[in-house]
Chains A and B, each alone.
Chain A
Amino acid sequence: MVKSESCVLTICDSPVIIWPNRGVYATPEEISPNMLCEDIHQWIQIDEQESAGKRSAKKKSKKSSAVSVINLRLMMEATKTGPLSAPILSKTVQKSHFLSATLPIDCVVHTTCNDTIKDAFERLLEALTHQLCQMEKVILQHMKGTTLLVPKPFHFLLPEPKGLVTVVYPEGVPDSQLETQRKELHQQFELPNDWPYFRRSNAYHFPNEPYKDGYLRNPHLVLTHPSLDNGKVYSVQGIYSYRHYMQNHMDDNGWGCAYRSLQTICSWFLQQGYVERAVPTHKEIQQALVDVGDKQASFVGSRQWIGSIEVQAVLNHLLGVTSKIMFVSQGSDLASKGRELANHFLTEGTPIMIGGGVLAHTILGVAWSETTGQIRYLILDPHYTGAEDLQVITDKGWCGWKGPDFWDQTAYYNLCMPQRPKVI
């Protein structure tokens, strides 16, 4: 029926309706099949999202998203031109099993500026039919007796030039049991086996969808990198969520900075699909330390600080993640750690928790020049107490690039550098 003339695609938030199987007939009539895809935007009425950057005078140039998303809805036209024959009621008496399921179909096609609507819709229909076949396979594969699992599609953004790929996984089967499937996919797309491209939590997040939990993701992406002579930027890979003071109605102002940094790191492991455990609360973190014998039972519920060693212990105990500790005897020495930091972001790509003086921070990246030795640190500051406002956070430097003078030059620092498990 996807191939039938009754198949209709409507563009969300717009009056445009297209019948792809009737020569891409569209309403309103002004839209012809040879129209460019990007012209569809003029028909879409979006809510005026607060365009960040209009308020502040000093506008740091932000990277604008080069990807724009058009949402479509697939429907069926129930009406036809008459007259048609009246209905027939058919009754069958036969012992059988009846199954009715609603399958969530979710297809994506990538188009370039020069593609016309006709091309786009042809590809979309191909994708739809292909997905239906995939779903059929998955259902039959995972069918046990009379129980059926609902197949659910996930989109993954693979490194160029492969782009967006859709995979259908059966609902209810955890990632741990789908490893063979993921291995096949890694082979099929010739991907290295050290990054979990195809875990469910790594599914591509479309730019126009807000995250349901309300946390900001990767606020550093809107910043401009410092340009150093012969310098390169090495930063965290994947996605993390920004954790800071006062979130979740937890008033940890003044003592919780290391906890928040640890939470940011945990969110990274959750997001990439390495763990399924939710980001731990302050209490859970404290309890974990009691459980490993590092602290007394009275520690739980207190407002005591923790440091890198504790962060390492918790990551190990709760997430099964090992971390390296780097000790720096005085803050000024951090300026010479460019190579180590760069290597970390290249091979591990995880956020780093740094504690020293009386403060804890998260290092998300480093800009370092091998020849001049110049260095800048991309810092995520857990001491922020405000709302999840990307504008404020980046303008005021709560997430920003800092120089070597950011550190207390005489204090000693410990860096906790989590190691990424090499699994898919």
Chain B
Amino acid sequence: MGRSYIVEDAVEGYLSKLCEQQAGSVTGLLIGQSSTQRDFVVTATRTPQKEESAATAGNSPDKEWVIEHARQVSRMLPGGLSVLGVFIITDTDSKDTLTTLRQLVFAVENLISSEHLWNPADDDVTDCVTLHVNPKTRKTFCRTFDVKDPKSMAKPADWKYQSGVCSSWSMVSCCINVDMLVPLPDNRTGTENMDTSLKEELKVWAHQLESGVCLIDGKKLSEDTELTGGQKRNIRQTYTAQILLTPDDQRLTDVVQRCGGSVSVRGAVHSRAYLHSNKPKVKLAEKLLKRDVVSTVATRVQMLLEELLTSEEESKGSSRVKQQTEQFCLPRRVFCPVKVSGPVCVCDYLFSDEGLSEVTDRLKEMLDIDVDEEDLDTRQETPAEIPEKLCVFSARVETVESLEPKRNNYIGVAMASAVALLAAAVSVLYLSDV
């Protein structure tokens, strides 16, 4: 009793095209959504060419490169879409191919889950799919592995093409505020520390979100309610979600720490999750949406810090005195439909100094999608505005003024309270000069 994969028709055409094009082996990723009963494959994308290897070198795929591709692609998938597995088009012997595929799929899955900031849920599907297409015979071999079990054996699975797989998928979305303030350790305020500190805080936030209350279209529904309740197949449902949070009750010990500074992330992100049309439950919608919220913020922070690190590397030669306060815009989210008429979109992030053409280029490279700039949806988020025009690559050099005379700064009261008649909680941030 194996899994069954319902695959979008377009994927068949895509794979055939790849069979005809390349001489050597072609690897790629399969993207879609898993559910307990069935899995849906929405699109596929080939591993992009590496610049150094001009020719299709050999038949053994570059594992590291495939994994890196998967990591990048993961960032471009909104909630509900994920990398389900790996495909390979090769006429090599089936058994060897299977071993390769097994290695690839485990490596991909391990990398992607290690970047997750949330805890895996009990009802998560842990099977990944591998597809082997023989370009000469056009035969396909589809098997799954349980990536939770390192010793798992290949299980045969059904691979069925269908049209309009995601045409009636529904979407839950929200625009959620981010307000994080994290201290940085003394004398270690570099970019790597920002990264670690922010990751910790994001995990806490993810935990808070997990226990937050989720309203769908203004109502609190029970977990097992089914969404789309009996609508016609062609009508697309979009739901707006609201999330209510209470801070962790555990943090009753007051923590006063010396710090060398602080980093804050403030603003809002648009978050969405797509749900398959096979009677999805509210529980699933909540889970996917909340995960998307965390991962979109984490991805953007990651991208910004990577940019900063590279620019720091480049400017190591010049003696540049760090300013006391620096502000950077996180990239904003831009959506692109997978199929021109379909509801399902992938996304990309646009830095303030980039143009839309870079987005279309990246979509082509990573996801093998051809799209015009006009088809991109940039309306979900507006670009961030920094009051004092300090941008990422500012070359201003400023001497640090001597510290102002000692006084207590009561900087901000960030509050999230809970419970009127039982314990409630308020977070207070208190910074004082020492």
Contacts and interface: CB of A to CB of B under 8 A. Distances in A.
B424 A94 contact: no
Contact of B178 (A77, A87, A101, A106): A87
**Of A70, A105, A128, A150, which is in contact with the most chain B CB atoms at under 10 Å from its CB?**
A105
B340 interface: no
Interface stretch (A2-10, A176-184, A364-372): A2-10
Interface string B345-373: 00000000000000000000000000000
A176 B300 CA distance: 53
Contact of B268 (A87, A96, A132): A87
A88 B416 contact: no
A75 B300 contact: no
Given A78-B177, A98-B183, A148 B256 contact: yes
B401 to A, nearest CB: 11
B263 A82 contact: no
Contact of B261 (A15, A81, A96, A124): A96
Contacts, number: 289
A98 B184 CA distance: 9
Given A103-B425, A105-B424, A106-B419, A79 B243 contact: yes
Interface stretch (B124-132, B150-158, B319-327): B319-327
B332 A72 contact: no
B428 A89 contact: no
A78 B176 contact: yes
Given A95-B186, A97-B259, A15 B220 contact: yes
Contacts of B424: 73-74, 103-107
A206 to B, nearest CB: 7
B347 to A, nearest CB: 13
B1 interface: no
A77 B244 contact: yes
B425 A102 contact: yes
A99 B428 contact: yes
Nearest to B220: A15
A84 B382 contact: yes
A78 B174 CA distance: 10
B258 interface: yes
A73 B418 CA distance: 5
B177 A72 contact: no
A326 interface: no
Given A27-B215, A82-B175, A99-B256, A88 B432 contact: no
Interface residues on A, range: 35 or more
A358 interface: no
A91 interface: yes
B264 A102 contact: no
A206 B256 contact: no
Nearest to A149: B254
Contact of B267 (A71, A85, A99, A102): A85
Given A86-B329, A88-B330, A88-B386, A79 B324 contact: no
Given A85-B267, A93-B260, A72 B324 contact: no
Given A90-B325, A102-B251, A147 B256 contact: yes
A94 B175 contact: no
Given A9-B420, A146-B256, A89 B383 contact: no
Interface string B270-304: 10000000000000000000000000010011001
Nearest to B191: A91
Given A90-B326, A105-B418, 11 more contacts: A27-B219, A77-B243, A78-B212, A82-B268, A82-B381, A94-B433, A96-B434, A99-B254, A101-B254, A106-B424, A148-B430
Interface of B: 174-178, 183-184, 186, 189, 194, 209, 212-213, 215, 218-220, 241-252, 254-270, 297, 300-301, 304, 322, 324-333, 379-386, 413-434
Q: Across the A-B interface, give the 3 residue pairs with the lowest CB-CB distance, nearest first.
A: A87-B267, A82-B175, A84-B268
22 contacts: A73-B246, A74-B420, A75-B246, A78-B176, A80-B268, A83-B270, A85-B268, A87-B268, A88-B384, A89-B304, A91-B261, A91-B328, A94-B260, A96-B431, A96-B434, A97-B430, A98-B183, A99-B255, A99-B256, A101-B254, A105-B418, A148-B430
